Structures are given as structure tokens and as C-alpha cells.
Structure 1
Amino acid sequence: MTSWGNNRLDIFVRGMDSSVGHRAWDGTSWSADWDTIGGESLYDPISIAWGPERLDVFIVNYQHELLHKHWSGTWSEWENFGGTWVERPSVVSWGPDRLDVFVIGKDRKLYNKSWDGHVWSGFNSLGGQFLHPVSAVSWGPNRIDIFGTSTTHTIDHKWWDGTKGKWGPSGMDASWDHLGGTFYGQPKAVSWGPNRLDVFAIGTGSALFTRTWKTQWSGSWLSLGGTCYGVPEVISWGPGRMDVFVLSTSHSLAHKWYADGTWGPSEKDFEAMSGTIIRQVTGVCQAPNRIDLFVIGYDSGCSIKTWDEGWKPDVTGYTSLGGICFSNVASKG
């Protein structure tokens, strides 16, 4: 899902015929029903907004090619970028009219394709060897940080510094910064301020771990406990605030938060939010102190839960948006 302004949400899913379904919130109500924007998606679709009333959606089709569609008042046709890709794409924007897309090739290396407001680049290899899609985040103009789980199960890191016009740690090659650990799923990174990064991943014992950058990396991975699976969802709605959501092995949603330097409800505990969920949770922040969470239940329908000075409908309940979904709700990243 994507928000391009206060009181605006657009959600995308892979439907039962593999086409991309779409539904929108305008601040008052949801669109009457799901509509299809076509395509044939092998993996979850990915969506992003780089400005008001702008949406970009990316999918990998059954021929393993990367496809792109955008909305700026009306939908474009699907644009085929080609290639041969073996995971869903990841995408980030560090400013208006700028997009960077990351995809994993048959060789498990990471490739980058970028839009500079005028033209798309070709696919450029960034090296590495990755098991899952990467997590890409930007903490300011001309800055991108990428995190991926390597084939040796460590978390690896690479960054773009546009002020120097190059990739770190040593340019556009196979060199990556190794953050260590032993992890089995896709990491999730978030930034709540300039030069601040928090990375989360599920490691040994199915516990959630985190590591922090603030001018330098924290000394080691911190265990936040839990017994989790899937990909953690992390949302920041303001400086010094993070909300983390994971699925427990009982298929229910669990939540913990970081505020003013402290983890709640405690460093090792989670708030139980109940539900029976078959796919990972996806969330978005459309305004300060506002979170919208989307999940897929056993009926393959999409449901929503919202934080707005309290959980709505309540801490254990969800509101159904219907549909028959065969993917997670599309998110940026």
C-alpha cells in the first residue's frame, strides 16, 4: 500500500488470476469495490509514491520480466523493462520524480534501475548474493541504504551517496558491508531522521533482532524476543518513534514500539493483537500518530486495523475490505 498525502491510501494485491487489484481510501470512505489494473504478477506487487497524486507500481511477470505502471490522474499502460528476475522487486524514492528499483537476478546478485525524472537507466549490477528481496530506505535526498540477507545468512549493507556520486563501501561492485548475525528471512529497515537507520530481522530461535546506525553501528545485534516468522513490518510516524509488527507462530499479530529511547511494552515483550493471519502484515503511516495495518486472513480476504489515538475497531478486531488475495498487500520497499 502507498500513501501520497494525508487521508489518502492506495492498496494493491495479487488477485486469483494473478492480475493486480486496487482499492483506494479518500479520507472518508473506501472505493466501492476492488478494481483491476491488469498485469500478470508472479510475486507480490510493489507500489510507491514520490509526490501528491502520483503512484508507481512494479511487478515481475511469469516470464520473470520487470513491469511498471504509473498513475498521475489516469493509469498508464504497463511498461516492460525485461530482464530475468527471481524475486519480487524493491523500490525507494529519495525525492520528487526519482525512483530506484532493486531486483535479484538468476545469479542471486542485486541489480539497480533508476528514474531521474527524464529517462530510465539500464540495469546495473551491485553484486552480492541474496536469498530474498532486499530492503531499501532513504533518510534524505541523494541517500539510499540497502540491506539484504546473504546466501551465508548474514545481513549485508550497501549505500548510495549522491553527494559523492558513488556507491559505498567501495563503488558499484561486489563489495558490501557485512553486519554479521545469522538470519533466515528478509530484513526490514526504517529511518526516522537524517543519518539514523534501524534494521530488523528474524534470527536464531525465531526471535526478532535489531541493529542501529547513528554515526556508527551499534556494537551487536539486540534480541527483542518473540517467536516470529515472515518479514517484520516497521513504521515510523515521527522522530524517535517506531512501531514493529510481526506474525507469531500461532498466526496472530504481535506489536512492540520504540519511543523516547525505550522499547514497549518492554524490551523482550510484545503486545498481543490476536487475529488469524496467513500472510505477513503490511503497514503505512499517512499522518503523525496514525498507522494503517493490512493483513490477509484464512478466507484470503484483506482486512484493516488502524491506530488513531487508539486501535480501531479495537486491539483484537479487524475491518474486512473483502477481495480474494493471493499476495500480501503491496507496500513500498
Structure 2
Amino acid sequence: MRREKVWRRAAMVCALVVSSVAVATPARASSWSPWVGRGGSLISNPAVTSWEPGRLDVFARGLDTTGKDTNRLAHRVFTDGRWQRWKDLGVLPGDWLTGGPAAVSWGSGRIDLFVTADNGRLGHKWFSNGTWKQWQDLGGAITGTPAVVSWGPGKLDVFARSAGARLVRLRFADGTWQPWQDLGSLAGLSAPSAVSWGPGRTDLFAVNTATRRIWQRTYSGGWSGWSDRGGDFPSGVGAVSWGPGRIDLFGKTLNRDLGHAWFSNGTWKSWQNLGGGEQGLNMTPGAASWAQNRIDVFGVDDNGLLLHKTWS
């Protein structure tokens, strides 16, 4: 009789354990966070890149400690679950900056940063082996903010709008910079943004300045023509990919909200409005992804504050 009672109690315990395992907590659906302020006193669009999960590097033109000098680059890092303080990366020697920066990483511990000087030349600064290298003059005759992609270690493509309204590209491969290449007219279009989801694939986006609609041009074995992707944006867009076959576009709407469209399963989804925070957006947004189904989007408001929103 005593042994029978023990067996019954053991059976009840096992039933409780099985029941508790069977009722698992459902996975949380991905969603957009609210806007969060990340500080700063910025006067350009932000550029953002990530070299590994949990790491973000954000760059923008900013004011110095006196609040007067605009010829400086500000840098802030997110790592180990927290934001570090803003750092001053200094100025492009001898030349004032125009537009905003562009940034990309081709692997752990590597960042390449690009700016346009007021003489139209492309400036390049890179982070490698734990230190920032000196500015490098890459020449050119460009205007506005450049765009950059990397499709693998040691591979860079920089795109820009030339002073003659042409789309130009500067490529780094096999350890050397190749000559500037003309890829056709950009008449009526803004400076491009660019994204690559892997080797042999690059997508460019620009705003038609007359209609404010987004236009796309793709390289996949050869360059396509420009295609209309809709929207209504007074300035350029930011683009990001978390893997092959996926592109997310972000732009500042006429109402200063964040507009979002994405390409998935071979089709473009409709534009959606993600809001603009209390002040609204004042600059073209930037975005990065450190893993599938994770996006970090950044904007700047009227007070120069960096704004941050995540999809996860």
C-alpha cells in the first residue's frame, strides 16, 4: 500500500512536469520600437554600420564643444549592450565637409568612412587593428553625400553624383583603388544611396527631384535601367539588407515622418509610415542590420538629436 502511494505521487509529479513543458511561451512577434533619443548635436544625415551582432557605429557631422564648428565628424558606438560617449573624429584637413558621411564594414574590426570635401574630392578614413588611420584623398569631382557598399572582405564600391550630374563609381579591390568610372546620367535625380546583399548584387536608389518618387537601379551581372519605386520624399533614402533577397528602404516624408518600404520574396511591399517622434525628422535616415530580422534606423531632429528606432 505504501509503495502504491509513492508511485501515484511520482506519476502526479511527472504529469505536472510534462504539462509545464508542453505549455511553452509563444515567440514574440517582431515589431518596431518607439523612437529613442541618443544625444548629439548633429547637422547632417547619420551613417551607420555594424561589423557583428550587438555592435553599431554611428557617424554624422556635428558641432564641437563650443557649438560653432561644423567641420567635424562625430562618432558613437553601441557595444556590450550599452552606448559609449560621443567621440570627435576631427576634420578633413584643409577642407570643409559637405553633405553627410557614408560608412561600411567588410568584417570584424574594420570600418571604412567617406565624406565629400567642399572642393569636390572624396575623403576616406578607415578603422583597422583597433585604430583610426589618417584621412586619404581619393580625388574626384563629386557633390553631396557619397554612398558605399561592400560585397566581401577587401571589396568596396563608392557611388556619388558628379558635379556634371553623372553617376560615378570608385572601386577598391585587390588592395588598390581603381580609376573613377562613369555609370551614366543622374540628371533630375539626387545623389544615390546603395546597398548590397551579397557578391554580384548592388542596388542604387535616388529621388526624382521633380516628382519626389524613388528610383532604383540594379547591378546583377550588368546594370539595369532606372525603375520607379514610388513614395513621396523631398530628399534621399537610406537602404539596408539583412540577407539575400531582402532590402529595406527608409526616407523622410513631407510630414517629416519615417517612410518604410521593403523588398522580400521577389516583390516590393507598400510604403508604410513609422512616425517621426516629437520633433519630426530633419535629415535623411540611415540604417544597419546585424542579423536577420534586426534593423536599427537612425534619424536627426530639428535640435540635432540623434533618434533611434529598432525592428526586432
Calculate the TM-score normalised by the size of structure 1: 0.65
The reply on whether 1:86 has 2:97 as its aligned counterpart is yes
Q: In 2, distance between residues paired with 1:223 and 1:150?
A: 22
Alignment match, 1:113:
125
Unaligned 5+ segments in structure 2 are 1-32, 64-68
Name which of 108, 117, 141 aligns with 1:129.
141
Q: In 1, distance between residues paired with 2:311 and 2:54?
A: 24
Query: 1:233-244 alignment to 2 at 5 Å?
Result: 233-244=238-249
Q: In 2, distance between residues paired with 1:95 and 1:106?
A: 30
Unaligned 5+ segments in structure 1 are 1-28, 265-269, 309-333
Change (3 A) 1:250 1:193: same
Alignment match, 1:145:
157
8 Å CA contact retained: 1:208, 1:225:
yes
Q: In 1, distance between residues paired with 2:184 and 2:141?
A: 14
1:123 offset after TM fit, Å? 2.8
Change (3 A) 1:134 1:79: closer
Calculate the TM-score normalised by the size of structure 2: 0.69
Name which of 190, 193, 198 aligns with 1:193.
198
1:253 offset after TM fit, Å? 4.2
Change (3 A) 1:78 1:139: same
Please state whether the residue corresponding to 2:142 is helix, strand or coil.
coil
Please state whether the residue corresponding to 1:128 is helix, strand or coil.
coil
Change (3 A) 1:89 1:299: closer
Name which of 158, 174, 177 aligns with 1:167.
177
Alignment match, 1:285:
289
Query: 1 or 2, which has the higher helix percentage?
Result: 2
Please state whether the residue corresponding to 1:182 is helix, strand or coil.
coil
The reply on whether 1:177 has 2:177 as its aligned counterpart is no
- Residues 206-250 of structure 1: per-residue CA shift (max 9 Å, x gap): 2211111112212x1112233322221222222111122333434
CA RMSD of aligned residues (A): 3.7
1:288 offset after TM fit, Å? 1.8
Q: How many residues align?
A: 265
Alignment match, 1:247:
252
Q: In 1, distance between residues paired with 2:256 and 2:152?
A: 36
- Residues 28-83 of structure 1: per-residue CA shift (max 9 Å, x gap): x99xx9676x7x65545545443466555545451624466767776596454651
Q: Output the amino acid matched with 1:288.
A: Q
8 Å CA contact retained: 2:213, 2:228:
yes
